[in-house]
């Protein structure tokens, strides 16, 4: 499979990761990884600056040298890179989704969810001993996937806790479609949940431009990705 590379410069690559791929090689698994495939294709090492879960598709930034990797890591540590995801969730807890659907003023409204999350062996959960997590969500209105109603969201994680987005939607009564680990009953695509990284914004990283990165990079949205993947089955 030829990986979709959306940006390539002397110092960085941005890849549109398909769901079902690991970001980096895993232990005791033969699942394909983006890092290994890129290293083989480019005949040289690449460094992942951040990662996506195996079941999640979308944009990942890789550095082509150690110095660029250190610089990009500092952007993420300082929260200068803004990452945006699209998510489709199940209809939600009783009464909650009905209230949203009835109120047209809710569409487009932005909320911030805060919690303390602790990563367990398989999943994250809320705990007083966890690390602070902040997630900005915008409800985009109802939609449909195949024959099922869904809720559509734009998500910006302001912190980078493991499984942060997946756990937060579960906590608020909206499991991400296909995410059975976090309470979903409806199916999405094989090896996939309905969560996709669609935008990386480097506008608050002045040194990014000096290293050949544009202000922002966008990938196709979840609807187009899902339709294309479903049609290719």
Q: What is the per-residue pLDDT for 105?
A: 47
Of 55, 54, 59, 37, the C-alpha closest to 46 is 37
Residue 155 has pLDDT above 70, yes or no: yes
Euclidean distance between CA atoms 82 and 67, whole angstroms? 21
* Stretch 68-96: mean pLDDT: 88
CATH superfamily ID and name for 5-231: Pseudouridine synthase (3.30.2350.10)
Share of the chain above pLDDT 90, in %: 75
**Residue 84 — φ and ψ, nearest 5°?**
-125, 140
Residue 101 has pLDDT above 60, yes or no: no
Q: What is the per-residue pLDDT for 232?
A: 59
Please tell me whether residue 216 adopts helix, strand or coil conformation: strand
Contacts of 58 (CB under 8 A, 6+ apart): 16, 17, 52, 85, 196, 197, 198, 219
Domain map (residue ranges) of the chain: 5-231
Cβ–Cβ < 8 Å for 127, 116: yes
Pairing of strands 131-145, 47-48: unpaired
Q: Which residue has the higher pLDDT, 109 or 130?
A: 130
Residue 162 has pLDDT above 60, yes or no: yes
* Stretch 12-35: mean pLDDT: 91
Pairing of strands 195-201, 57-63: parallel
Task: Dump strand ranges (E) for 4-130.
Answer: 5-8, 12-17, 47-48, 57-63, 82-89, 110-119, 124-126
Residue 203 to residues 31, 37, 138, 163, 171, Cα–Cα distance (Å): 34, 29, 21, 25, 31
pTM of the prediction? 0.92
Residue 95 has pLDDT above 70, yes or no: no
Residue 2 has pLDDT above 80, yes or no: no
Q: What is the per-residue pLDDT for 108?
A: 76
Euclidean distance between CA atoms 116 and 130, whole angstroms? 5
C-alpha torsion sign, points 106, 107, 112, 113: positive
Average pLDDT of the chain, as a whole number? 90
pLDDT in tens, 6-20: 999 999 999 999 999
């Amino acid at each position: 499979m030829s990986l979709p590379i959306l940006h390539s410069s002397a110092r960085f690559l941005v890849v549109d990761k398909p769901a079902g791929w690991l970001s980096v090689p895993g232990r005791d698994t033969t699942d394909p990884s983006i890092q290994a495939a890129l290293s083989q294709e480019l005949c040289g090492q690449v460094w992942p600056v951040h990662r996506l879960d195996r079941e999640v598709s979308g944009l990942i930034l890789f550095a082509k040298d150690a110095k660029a990797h250190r610089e990009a890591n500092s952007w993420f540590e300082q929260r200068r890179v803004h990452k945006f995801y699209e998510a489709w969730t199940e209809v939600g807890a009783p009464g909650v989704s009905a209230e949203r659907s009835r109120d047209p003023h809710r569409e487009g409204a932005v909320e911030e969810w805060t919690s303390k999350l602790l990563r367990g062996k398989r999943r994250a959960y809320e705990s007083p001993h966890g690390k602070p997590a902040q997630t900005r969500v915008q409800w985009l209105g109802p939609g449909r996937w195949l024959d099922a109603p869904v809720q559509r969201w734009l998500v910006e994680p302001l912190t980078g806790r493991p499984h942060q987005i997946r756990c937060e939607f579960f906590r608020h009564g909206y499991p991400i479609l296909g995410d059975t680990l976090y309470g979903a009953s409806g199916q999405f695509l094989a090896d996939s949940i309905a969560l996709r990284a669609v935008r990386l914004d480097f506008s608050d990283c002045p040194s990014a431009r000096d290293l050949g990165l544009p202000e922002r990079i966008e990938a196709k949205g979840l609807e187009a990705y899902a339709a294309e993947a479903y049609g290719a089955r």
